[in-house]
Amino acid sequence: MNKTISGFSKLTKSEKIDWLTTTYFTNSQSAKDILKQYWNSDKKLQQLHDEFIENTLTNYYLPLGIAPNFLINDKVYAIPMAIEESSVVAAASKAAKFWFDRGGFKTTVIATEKIGQVHFMFKGESSKLEQFFKTLKPKLIESAKPLTKNMEKRGGGILDIQLKNKTRLLNNYYQLHATFETLDAMGANFINSCLEDFAKTLKEEAFDHNLFSSEEKDIQVIMSILSNYVPNCLVRAEVSCKVQELSEKKTTNAEEFAHKFVQAVNIAEVEPYRAVTHNKGIMNGIDAVVLATGNDFRAVEAGVHAYASKNGQYSSLTHAKVENGIFTFWMEIPLALGTVGGLTKLHPLVKWALELLGEPTAKELMQIVAVAGLAQNFAALRSLTTTGIQEGHMKMHLMNILNQFEATHEEKVTLIEHFKTHTVTHSSVVEEIEKLRQ
Say which DSSP state 118 is in: E
Query: Quick one: pLDDT at residue 406?
Result: 83
Q: How far apart are CA 72 and CA 368, in angstroms?
A: 8
Query: Quick one: pLDDT at residue 396?
Result: 63
pLDDT tens digits, residue range 86-144?
899 999 999 999 999 999 999 999 999 999 999 999 999 999 999 999 999 999 999 99
Check: CB of residue 307 under 8 Å from CB of residue 317. Answer: yes
Q: How far apart are CA 422 and CA 418, in angstroms?
A: 7
Average pLDDT over residues 368-394: 85
Task: Report the 10 Å Cβ neighbour count for 242.
Answer: 14
- The verdict on 79 and 192 lying in the same domain is no
Whether 89 is covered by a domain: the verdict is yes
Query: Quick one: pLDDT at residue 146?
Result: 97
Integer Rg of the chain from CA: 27
Sign for the CA dihedral angle at 210, 211, 213, 219 comes to negative
Whether 56 is covered by a domain: the verdict is no
Query: Quick one: pLDDT at residue 432?
Result: 83
333 — pLDDT class (breaks 50, 70, 90) = very high
Domain boundary among 180, 205, 227: 227
377 — pLDDT class (breaks 50, 70, 90) = very high
- 75-82 and 64-72 as β-strands: parallel, antiparallel, unpaired? antiparallel
Average pLDDT over residues 31-59: 96
Q: How far apart are CA 413 and CA 72, in angstroms?
A: 37
338 — pLDDT class (breaks 50, 70, 90) = very high
CATH number at residue 294: 3.90.770.10
Model confidence at 331: pLDDT above 90: yes
Domain boundary among 227, 258, 276: 227
The one-letter amino acid code at 271 reads E
Task: Report the 10 Å Cβ neighbour count for 200.
Answer: 16
Average pLDDT over residues 376-386: 95
- The verdict on 93 and 168 lying in the same domain is no
425 — pLDDT class (breaks 50, 70, 90) = confident
Whether 265 is covered by a domain: the verdict is yes
Whether 2 is covered by a domain: the verdict is no
What are the backbone dihedrals phi and psi of residue 316, each rounded to the nearest 5 degrees, phi first? Answer: -60, 140
Using DSSP's 3-state secondary structure scheme, residue 75 falls into strand
- 114-121 and 220-227 as β-strands: parallel, antiparallel, unpaired? antiparallel
- Angle of CA points 250, 399, 99, to nearest 5°: 30
386 dihedral zone (left: phi>0; alpha: psi -120 to 50; beta): alpha
* Catalytically annotated residues: 85, 280, 296, 393
CA dihedral of residues 69, 74, 75, 81 (deg, nearest 10): -50
- The verdict on 121 and 84 lying in the same domain is no
The one-letter amino acid code at 281 reads G
- The verdict on 102 and 243 lying in the same domain is yes
- The verdict on 244 and 119 lying in the same domain is no
- The verdict on 305 and 160 lying in the same domain is no
- The verdict on 83 and 36 lying in the same domain is no
Query: Quick one: pLDDT at residue 393?
Result: 55
**Which stretches within 329-404 are classed as H helix?**
348-356, 362-384, 389-404
391 — pLDDT class (breaks 50, 70, 90) = low
- The verdict on 249 and 375 lying in the same domain is yes
Of 368, 363, 367, which is closest to residue 353 (Cα–Cα)?
368
Check: CB of residue 344 under 8 Å from CB of residue 323. Answer: no
Model confidence at 389: pLDDT above 60: no
Using DSSP's 3-state secondary structure scheme, residue 144 falls into coil
Check: CB of residue 408 under 8 Å from CB of residue 435. Answer: no
CA 277 to chain centre: 16
390 — pLDDT class (breaks 50, 70, 90) = low
The pTM of this model reads 0.89
Helix axes 145-153, 188-207, angle to 10 degrees: 140
- Give me the domain span that covers residue 37: 8-50
* H or E element, residue 92: helix 88-100
- The verdict on 281 and 379 lying in the same domain is yes
Share of the chain above pLDDT 70, in %: 97
- The verdict on 75 and 132 lying in the same domain is no
Q: Which residues pair with 130 in a beta bridge?
A: none
Using DSSP's 3-state secondary structure scheme, residue 26 falls into coil
* H or E element, residue 28: helix 28-36
Q: How far apart are CA 233 and CA 186, in angstroms?
A: 11
Whether 197 is covered by a domain: the verdict is yes
- Angle of CA points 157, 373, 256, to nearest 5°: 140
Q: How far apart are CA 261 and CA 55, in angstroms?
A: 48
Q: Domain tally for the chain?
A: 4
pLDDT tens digits, residue range 272-299?
999 999 999 999 999 999 999 999 999 9
Check: CB of residue 335 under 8 Å from CB of residue 355. Answer: no
CA 100 to chain centre: 25
- The verdict on 213 and 278 lying in the same domain is no
CA dihedral of residues 217, 222, 227, 229 (deg, nearest 10): -100
Using DSSP's 3-state secondary structure scheme, residue 70 falls into strand
